[in-house]
A and B are shown apart, each in its own frame.
Chain A
Amino acid sequence: MNATARRHLRGLAILTALAAIAAVLRILIDRDPRDGVISLAWPHPKYAWVRWTALAVGATVGSGLATSGVLLQALLRNPLASPFILGITAGAGLGVMTAMYIGHLTGVTVASSSVLPALAGALAVMGIVYSLGQRRGWLDPVSLVLVGVIVSAICGALIMLLQHLVPAGLHGEITRWMMGRIPEDTPTASLVLVGGLSVAGIAIGMAMGPAMDAATLGDDEARSVGLALGPLRVWMFLLAGALTAGAVALCGPIGFVGLLAPHAARLVLGPHHTSLVLGAALAGIILVVGADVARQAIDFDAGRMPIGIFTALIGGPAFIWLLRTGRGQA
């Protein structure tokens, strides 16, 4: 076994152990609502499914967003690329909000699950960002990020408009959804659908690892070594959009996971995408489930905090550290 394989095995073992610790804590952690005392105990069977559901949602969303981030960073050759930065998360959120608003106006449920509206919004934004992020037929990394940030802001404004238009009684629910949450009661069909999507996304991403390694070369160089870059980009973008849409449909927009998890995994595993995709998925699980554990423990007497606050507070400074230390390579 060579040094690279040893590094991959060691890194994946560490990430798997950390993900397992986060998962066990999520099942065991309990906070007494009367005195705020935190304890670790196996939950009463009557309520255990609530915690298992929350764990499954957190793992699904964390791994999906992280895998999406790896695909985008590799194919755009841009360490800043992530579903959140490129506006895909906001696009999916706008899709869900639009469906909710139409449902409110007409009394008709537009889609039984949020997944389809989220997917429509995500793909629409990806199409716009991909088209406007090109110069002379070349993907320009700086233009791409700038367009993504602007499209994300526009989607955010449209979401606020929809929020303004709905009755005041719905504002609180929409605001909590916008901050990202890990629901403890999710329709099984949605969870199975998005969970299956995340598992398939990880498997496809790993299978495409060697191609994504070649895609880190310049466009002409990648083609010259035999990579059909155009089709690879299209399929991997669609996969990244679907993974993001699934995550947003379950939990609302959660930032920084798709940005930070790939970089964290890269620090441990190095740049090879076959292992990096799996490692990033594990890092995403650690981040989201770990944040969910933290929000069980921290209480400011204002109810359970939205998970998006935790991921932003952890992810933002961590990403600045990556940028400042130059450890963030795509």
Chain B
Amino acid sequence: MSVRVRDISHRYGRVQALESVTADAAPGRITAVLGPNAAGKSTLLRCVIGALSPAAGCVLIDGEPAHQLPTRKLAGRVAYVPQRPQVSAAFTVREVVELGRYALAASRRRIDEALGELDLNEIADRPFPTLSVGQQQRATLARAVAQIADDGHLVLDEPASAMDLRHVRSSTALLRRLADGGATVLVAMHDLTLALSLADECWLLDHGRLVAAGPTTEVISIERLHEVFGVGFEWIERPDGGRVLLPTSA
């Protein structure tokens, strides 16, 4: 059970979005996809969920090409949380979470658990369009949690970018529990400090190319980040012995 990206390339018109990217995400691990804007993170994730058929190469989900898998079969293996959740009808939060089971057997227990995990019980009957973006992100994550099997694959595109700090913490703790339970977690993010604390592995992208892939502590170095982001970084020692990565003022 794994996600294998094999030499994929894709372009939008003249823009090369991905170029010969090869990487693996293993079950039981959280893999962060990092890179500046337009590095190809979202395009890569769209290839992983089978929404985009790459111009070259393929993504293998448990050994089968993602874009060739029937959508219902894929839904049983891969759950997706987009950068900007969209629900064009006035469904309640609970109803949105229930959509995670659209192609799967109905499970009230899974819905209730997902609502509880994401602290949504109080707003479960509120219409989704009336929520703040952070609350919508939590509801969308709950939908994916209700969908994913214990050994499934969870693909997230900046899932907590609008959440408050408390819910960022509870959501990342949830991702850790899912990974510990056997899930493969692949998450695109911009917060390098969060990536350091959360991710076991990292894929670092720049201009559609994979700059580095491997254990987070090896991939994230000040020199490499400066090269990719064009910004200086420094390590700040914390009183508890940990380290925080911050951009330098210059």
- Interface positions of A (Cβ within 8 A of B): 74, 77-79, 136, 210, 213-214, 216-221, 223-228, 266, 270-271, 329-330
As a 0/1 sequence over residues 123 to 140 of chain B, the CB contacts with chain A under 8 angstroms (1 = contact) are 000000100000000001
- Tell me what chain A mostly uses at the interface: helix, strand, loop, or mixed: loop
B162 within 8 A of A: no
Contacting pair A225 B88 (CB below 8 A): no
As a 0/1 sequence over residues 69 to 102 of chain B, the CB contacts with chain A under 8 angstroms (1 = contact) are 0111011101110101111111100010001101
User: Roughly how many angstroms separate A210 CA and B99 CA in the complex, as a whole number?
Assistant: 9
CB B149 to nearest CB in A, in angstroms, measures 13
Partner of A225, one of B12, B46, B90, B147: B147
State whether A220 and B51 are in contact (beta carbons under 8 Å apart), knowing that A77-B88, A226-B71, A227-B71 are contacts in the complex. yes
B39 within 8 A of A: no
Contacting pair A220 B71 (CB below 8 A): no
Partner of B102, one of A79, A218, A225, A271: A225
13 interchain pairs, CB-CB under 8 A? A77-B88, A210-B102, A220-B80, A221-B82, A221-B85, A223-B49, A224-B51, A224-B78, A225-B75, A225-B100, A227-B71, A270-B90, A271-B91
Residues of A within 8 A of B85 (CB): 218, 221
B103 within 8 A of A: yes
User: Roughly how many angstroms separate A136 CA and B91 CA in the complex, as a whole number?
Assistant: 29
Listed residue (A216, A226, A270) with the most chain B CB atoms within 10 angstroms of its CB: A226
Contacting pair A224 B79 (CB below 8 A): yes
B104 within 8 A of A: yes
User: Roughly how many angstroms separate A184 CA and B78 CA in the complex, as a whole number?
Assistant: 56
Contacting pair B89 A213 (CB below 8 A): yes
User: Roughly how many angstroms separate A213 CA and B91 CA in the complex, as a whole number?
Assistant: 9
CB B79 to nearest CB in A, in angstroms, measures 6
Contacting pair A217 B71 (CB below 8 A): no
Total number of B residues with any Cβ neighbor in A under 8 Å = 34
Contacting pair B51 A223 (CB below 8 A): yes
Q: Besides A213-B99, A225-B103, 9 other CB < 8 A contacts?
A: A213-B91, A214-B102, A220-B46, A221-B80, A221-B82, A224-B75, A226-B74, A330-B88, A330-B89
CB A315 to nearest CB in B, in angstroms, measures 21
CB B82 to nearest CB in A, in angstroms, measures 6
B40 within 8 A of A: no
B50 within 8 A of A: yes
Residues of A within 8 A of B71 (CB): 223, 226-228
User: Roughly how many angstroms separate A232 CA and B140 CA in the complex, as a whole number?
Assistant: 23
Contacting pair A214 B99 (CB below 8 A): yes
Contacting pair A329 B89 (CB below 8 A): yes
User: Roughly how many angstroms separate A228 CA and B76 CA in the complex, as a whole number?
Assistant: 14
CB A98 to nearest CB in B, in angstroms, measures 35
Contacting pair B50 A216 (CB below 8 A): no
Contacting pair B89 A216 (CB below 8 A): yes
Q: Which residue of A lies closest to B129 (CB)?
A: A329
Contacting pair A271 B89 (CB below 8 A): yes
Contacting pair B89 A221 (CB below 8 A): no
As a 0/1 sequence over residues 41 to 78 of chain B, the CB contacts with chain A under 8 angstroms (1 = contact) are 00000100111000000000000000000111011101
Residues of A within 8 A of B82 (CB): 218, 220-221
State whether A227 and B103 are in contact (beta carbons under 8 Å apart), knowing that A220-B46, A220-B51 are contacts in the complex. yes
Residues of B within 8 A of A213 (CB): 89, 91, 95, 99, 102
Contacting pair B50 A223 (CB below 8 A): yes
User: Roughly how many angstroms separate A228 CA and B103 CA in the complex, as a whole number?
Assistant: 10
User: Roughly how many angstroms separate A221 CA and B96 CA in the complex, as a whole number?
Assistant: 11
CB A224 to nearest CB in B, in angstroms, measures 4
CB B183 to nearest CB in A, in angstroms, measures 15
Contacting pair B88 A329 (CB below 8 A): yes
Residues of A within 8 A of B79 (CB): 224
Contacting pair B46 A329 (CB below 8 A): no
Contacting pair A226 B102 (CB below 8 A): yes
Q: Which residue of A lies closest to B70 (CB)?
A: A228
Contacting pair B12 A136 (CB below 8 A): yes
Contacting pair B72 A226 (CB below 8 A): yes
Listed residue (A79, A220, A228) with the most chain B CB atoms within 10 angstroms of its CB: A220
Residues of A within 8 A of B89 (CB): 74, 213, 216, 271, 329-330
Within 8 A of A (CB), among B131-173: 140, 143, 147
